[in-house]
């Protein structure tokens, strides 16, 4: 019996180290699993607060592609605009003549330039553009208003103004110049662009007159007085002679459109 007990005790003592090793290995495994779970939780938290980890691997490349496409589109539009403006202001050449319709469609009426590259052509006359309106009363009588000098209104907005607006300086003047270039002296619109410029000039005058007094009107008429610029240093007599050579052009009555 004593021999059996000794052998049993010795076997138990022999198994004890193996049980401790197994416990140690099991502890390491559990620690590794806990560490992995903690890392997963941290990654989920970082992904939820937008710190970078856990981000959708597909959404990031799509955003970069969209950004690159937008930058490329803006750059292409800027280069195309600069190229078309250059063809517009440059002297006549093969490219400007070949793509004349495309250049005009892009330039007019918003990006029109009043100068020519290498060959400036400043205005040599002064123009006084006036407008008057007509309103039909309920009894059928037509009430015609007085002439209003629209050019003088623009000049007063420019005078003593260190930063005058482009509208006051160029809108009315350039619209009239473009109108004359397309219509000549008979006021007949022979192209779609001529019709567009006629409506553009009419709408400018309508807006100016509506802002002035707010009175209703159904028709509007323009009068343009062209006065040659007297040479610098000329005498008063020469200036009076230039004033006598002024040309007055009276445009037909235009009906005010509902969208004017």
Give one DSSP letter per residue of the chain, joined into a string.
-HHHHHHHHHHHHHHHHHHHHHHHHHHHHHHHHHHHHHHHHHHHHHHHTTSSTT--TTHHHHHHHHHHHHHHHHHHHHHHHHHHHHHHHSPP-HHHHHTHHHHHHHHTTTS--S--TTS-----EEEEEEEEEEEE-TTS-EEE---EEHHHHHHHHHTT-SS--HIIIIIHHHHHHHHHHHHTTTT---SHHHHHHHHHHHHHHHHHHHHHH----SEEEEEEEEEEPPPTT--HHHHHHHHHT-EEEEPPPEEPPTT-
What is the arithmetic mean of pLDDT over 129-145?
Answer: 93
The three-point CA angle 64-69-75 to 5° equals 125
What is the arithmetic mean of pLDDT over 141-169?
Answer: 88
- What pLDDT score was predicted for residue 73? 94
Mean per-residue pLDDT over the chain, rounded: 78
pLDDT digits (tens, 9 = 90+) for 88-128: 888 888 888 888 888 888 888 778 776 655 656 667 788 99
- What pLDDT score was predicted for residue 170? 83
79 pLDDT higher than 90: yes
Distance (Å, rounded) from C-alpha 28 to C-alpha 37?
A: 14
- What pLDDT score was predicted for residue 7? 46
What are residue 188's DSSP bridge partners? none
Distance (Å, rounded) from C-alpha 85 to C-alpha 252?
A: 34
- The model's confidence at residue 15, banded by pLDDT at 50, 70 and 90, is very low
Region label for 82, one of left (φ > 0), alpha (ψ between -120 and 50) or beta (otherwise): alpha
What is the arithmetic mean of pLDDT over 169-181?
Answer: 89
Candidate from 76-85, 129-138, 157-166 with smallest mean pLDDT:
157-166
- What pLDDT score was predicted for residue 116? 59
pLDDT digits (tens, 9 = 90+) for 29-67: 556 555 666 666 665 555 555 444 555 666 778 888 999
What are residue 249's DSSP bridge partners? 224
What is the arithmetic mean of pLDDT over 74-79?
Answer: 94
The three-point CA angle 114-120-121 to 5° equals 70
């Amino acid at each position: 019996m004593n021999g059996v007990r000794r052998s049993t005790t010795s076997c138990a003592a022999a198994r004890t180290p193996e049980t401790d090793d197994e416990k140690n290995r099991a502890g390491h495994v559990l620690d590794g699993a806990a560490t992995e779970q903690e890392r997963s939780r941290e990654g989920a938290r970082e992904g939820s607060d937008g710190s970078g980890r856990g981000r959708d691997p597909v959404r990031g490349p799509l955003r970069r592609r969209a950004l690159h496409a937008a930058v490329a589109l803006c750059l292409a539009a800027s280069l195309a605009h600069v190229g078309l403006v250059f063809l517009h202001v440059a002297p006549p050449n093969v490219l400007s003549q070949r793509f004349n319709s495309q250049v005009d469609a892009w330039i007019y009426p918003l990006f029109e330039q009043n100068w020519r590259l290498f060959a400036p052509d400043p205005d040599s006359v002064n123009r006084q553009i006036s407008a008057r309106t007509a309103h039909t009363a309920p009894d059928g009588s037509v009430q015609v208003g007085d002439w209003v000098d629209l050019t003088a209104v623009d000049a007063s907005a420019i005078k003593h103004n260190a930063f005058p607006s482009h509208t006051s300086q160029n809108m009315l003047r350039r619209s009239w110049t473009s109108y004359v270039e397309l219509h000549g002296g008979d006021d007949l619109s022979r192209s779609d662009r001529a019709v567009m410029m006629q409506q553009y000039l009419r709408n400018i005058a309508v807006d100016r007159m509506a802002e002035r007094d707010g009175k209703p009107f159904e028709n509007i008429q323009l009068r343009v007085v062209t006065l040659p610029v007297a040479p610098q240093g000329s005498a008063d007599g020469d200036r009076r002679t230039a004033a006598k050579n002024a040309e007055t052009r009276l445009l037909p009555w235009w009906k005010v459109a509902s969208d004017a």
